[in-house]
Every structure is written in C-alpha cells, then in structure tokens.
Amino acid sequence: MDYLKKYGEWLKYDKLPEDIKLELTNLKDNENEIKERFGADLSFGTAGLRGVISAGTNCMNIFTVRRATKGLALYIIDAKIENPSVVIGYDSRHKSDEFAKEAANTLSQYGIKVYLFNELRPVPEVSFATRYLKCTAGIMITASHNPSKYNGYKVYGSDGCQIGPEIADIVTDKINNLDLFGESPKPVNESLINMIGEEIEDEFLKAVLSQRINAEASEKAGESFKIVYTPFHGTGYKPVMKAFKAIGLKNVYPVEKQCIPDGDFPTVKSPNPEEKEGFELGIKMAKELDVDLILGTDPDCDRVGIVVKNGEGEYVNFTGNQVGALLCEYILSQRKAKGTMPKNPFVVKTIVTTDIIRDICKNYGVTMFECLTGFKFIGELIKEFDEEGEMSYVFGFEESYGYLAGTHARDKDGVVASMLIAEMAAYYSLNNKTLYDALVDLYNKYGWHQEGILNIVREGLDGAEQIKASITKVRTNAPREIAGFEVIALRDYSLQKRHNFKDGKTEDLKLPKSNVLYFELEGGMWVVMRPSGTEPKLKIYVGTKAESKEKAKELSDNILEDVKSLL
C-alpha cells in the first residue's frame, strides 16, 4: 500500500527531527491514522495549504511548508522577475513562527529577498505589505478560524490578492515534481532575510483610517459610546485597539483573557466569531458595563463578528450577512449624503451572500457584481477595474464574516471592518439608535431577508470522498421542487452552465469553474451547495425573502430541512 511505503520512507529519513520520528514510531500499530496522514499529499489550492499540524504528507509540518515554498520559489524564478522578494507574516497558531522562518530560509536558498515580520501580524497587514513593499509575492502562515489543531499557508500575488486558480495550478505542478526531502540548491542566506515591524503597521493603519466616513461621529460619541472587544487570542489586539483609539473611542474594554496570543485558544471551543459561544466572556463584561456592542476578530483578524443588545435587552449575535448589509447601507448612504461617492462605484458580493445587497445597491445607483465564494475573486475584480480605471470599488464582503472597504489590502480586513462597524455604531448612537435598531430599519426598508446555512462535517480522506459523492448525487438527480417551491433553474458551476427548467434553455455562466450547485427557486429564493475550501464540510446555503421576520425564517428552515433529505 502506497501510504505504508511513504510512512516507511519518512521513518528512514536520516535528517528527521527526533520529535517527529518519535511521533511516527508511535503510529506503527495504527494503520488508519497512517492512512490519514500519508494517504494523500496536502493539496495546494488557491487558498494555499491547510491541514492538521502533525507528521505526514497530508499534514502541516516543516517538510510540507518547505516543499510548498520551493514550488513558489521555482515559479518566481521561472517568471524571470528582476530582484524578486516575498513578505512573510504569521499568526498566533502553534508552529506559525516556526513555519514562517522555514519559508524565509527556503526562499533565501533560492536567492529571493525576504521581508519577515518580527512578530505576529493579521492577514490584511500582510496583504497590504505585499503591495506597499512592491513584493513579488506574500505568504501568510494561518488557518484562520479553524480549530487549534490546524495551521495553513496562504500565498498572495504582487497585487496583494490570493493567487488565482491559474497560478495555483502552476505552483502545484512545481510542488508535485519535488522530492519532499530533497535538498535546496544552496545554504540559507541570512543576508537576504530582512525583519520588518512597526513601520509597516503604521502605514497600514494610515490606509485603514483613510476609510473613515463620519470622523466627527466617533469623535463626538467617543466619550460616551462603549465597546467590548476580543481578538480571540489572535493577531487583532494591537492594530484594532490602535484604530479604535485613533478614531476617538475612549471606552473600549478588551476581554483581557482573550487578548493573550495562544494557539490553544483556551477560553473558547472554537476561535470563530460566527459562534456566539466564544463571546461568553465578552457578554459577561458587557452586562456589567451596560455595553450595547461586543466585537470580535478571529485569530488572523480577517473576519469580524458582533453581538448586539436587542430591543428586549438580550445579547444576540448578528450574521455575516446582517453586518455586511448594515455596512453596505451605511457606506453608500453616507457617501451619497456627503458627496464622497466615487465615479462609477461598484460593490461586490459572493453568490452565497444575501440578496438584500441588490436592493441596497439599486437604491443608491451603485453597480453590484457577484463572484464565487472566496475573497480572492473579490480581489481579482478590484484589480481588473483598478487597471481599467472605469469603475471604482467601494465595498465587498462574503457571508462568512469577511469585509473590505478600500483597496489598501486585497483580502478580508478585520481591522478596517472593526473600525467602520464602531464608527457606524457610534453614528447611530448619536441618533439614539443601536445597531439592532438600524438592522430592523434596514429590513423594513428593503424587505425581510433570511439566510440559512447547514454545515455537514465529514473529516478525513473518506469524508472528502463522501462530500464529493453527495454533490454528485444531487447533480445527477437534480430536484424540480424543494420544500414545495418550484426549481426555476440550476446553475452548475462545474459545467459553467445554467439550465432553465421552464423553457429548457441552457446558457453559459461567466464565473470560473467550481464544484458548486445553485438552485433558483420561485419567489426569488435560492439554495447553494458546495464543499468548503478550508474545512472538511459540505456547505448548504439558503436565501429567502418575506413580509415578516418570522415568515422568512420559516421558509428558510423548511427549505434547509428538505435539502437534508436530498443527501
């Protein structure tokens, strides 16, 4: 069996560190675990690498990091770029600093200049630094909001955007042709490794602060407005707190236990701002201090979640769709009112993000574009229109709590989003409204939209096959009715085709090829099914709209329940 052969080759490698050798030796009687670790190679996609931290070809370790970096180095060399350079950042996860140093050493062996951050930094700052330093590429060691056993390796192009499928495929080919234990061509060249720090963060924060819309609002409300903030043991504490201070907020209360960088994330089950559980300490503080807004950023500070006091005084968590819709309405309405709307403005959302954005953009005469899930696709649209100079990017987001205003970064930015959410909340507070009140106003204005999501977890190699099989089953037996609603059309992004069941016509889809099924239901409702690109999950999304909150939720729940039966 191939995985047993690979396992044996690792044990025989004479330069294998003792701790890894001991870890593998202890697996000798556990064939299932050996298969999980060696039954495949950790795949390098457009989001880079992501896997469990352990020994094996299907895991995150110094060898898989080294091999991926060699592949990137060879791609850069083949591109014949003069004086190539790469910026490297890392978060608070276990071995992040070690993997970052490994990547830096490897690049130096290929004669590539490296800018290595001197301490943990958030994702958007690395994206920004790639652009600011005019680097050939950027690397971020992170697994975002995954559980503590994971880590990852994300790659950016010179534009600060995650590399797209075409470049990822080229780098993958380079990686696949490399011997995992093969030596690099030259010794480590320390002279090529340059440490960077506060000077980059200062420039990054200047760019973030340039996105303020109502500077007077946060300054005027700064004496009285209160926020509880948690960085979930990650990278957000320093830059987010600096941003809050810069906009004049004087009553920001950090959750001290969660401000300590720690890859175990000891105070939460999961460092995911989508989960209310992680906000328990923050909610306790908020009750004691009578605070209306609790804000949290995930470990690499590219996502933001909030908990808000509702009309009954209860603390409720907002979804990414709700926060994104509030920000979109706030940014567009205030820019229009102040006369600061750029020429030919546009907003971007993903295909699984709330459709209320269509109505908001239409109301303000702003063009809306849709893209596949993944912020790299939003970044590519920013780049495309930036180069053409015909349209101006204003805002983009995805339902999974990722937002970006401005073009200083080309990935989700939890720092600029935190600042704008705080400014927005301060602005509404001056009008005696909370963000909960603003959300109710939004739905009353545009209709009650409800988005639902179902995550089906299937871990391991077998789980990945089960997820593929589930989507294939639905694709080959596409339903014509879901929860009593007629399916108008099916968009199959793997075929790049949209088939209309009512008239039998098929048309081409312009978005890239992806294993995604999109069912258009009567009444403007929809269902999307896709495998997660970062976690072992089959993700199912639903979007509904009705005359009331209760009816919209009822429709969403019924549709999700019926979709379960399809699987």
Q: Which residue has the tokens 């507070």?
A: 429
State the catalytic residue, choosing from 85, 96, 144, 148. Answer: 144
Q: What's the rounded Cα separation, in Å, for the pair 59 and 430?
A: 51
Burial class (CB in 10 A: 0-12, 13-18, 19+), 45: middle
CA distance 43 to 168: 10
Closest by Cα among 545, 351, 552, 566 to 456: 566
Distance CA 428, CA 422 (A): 10
| Encoded tokens for 130 | 């790639």
Tell me whether strands 402-405 and 392-398 are parallel, antiparallel or unpaired: antiparallel
Distance (Å, rounded) from C-alpha 316 to C-alpha 307? 5
Q: Return all residues near 365 (Cβ < 8 A) that are at least 6 apart.
A: none
Given a contact cutoff of 8 angstroms between Cβ atoms, the answer to whether 118 and 198 are in contact is no
- Known catalytic membership, residue 144: yes
Q: What are the residues facing 397 on neighbouring strands?
A: 349, 403
Pairing of strands 137-141, 85-90: parallel
Amino acid at 315: Y
Distances, alpha carbon 97 to alpha carbons 62, 297, 539, in Å: 11, 20, 31
Q: What's the sign of the alpha-carbon dihedral 317, 319, 320, 321?
A: negative
> Read out DSSP for 177-239?
TS-TTPPPSS---GGGEEEE-HHHHHHHHHHHHTT-S-HHHHHHHTTT-EEEEE-TTSS-HHH
Output the CA torsion sign for 337, 340, 345, 347: negative
* Beta strand segments in 323-383, E: 345-350, 367-371
Residue 236 corresponds to which amino acid? Answer: G
The answer to whether the beta carbons of residues 101 and 151 sit under 8 Å apart is: no
Neighbour count for residue 343 (Cβ, 10 Å): 8
Q: Which two tokens stand for residue 366?
A: 């702003």
Structure tokens at 144: 């975002």
From residue 288, alpha-carbon distances to 253, 276, 277, 426 in Å are 11, 18, 18, 20
Active site residues: 144
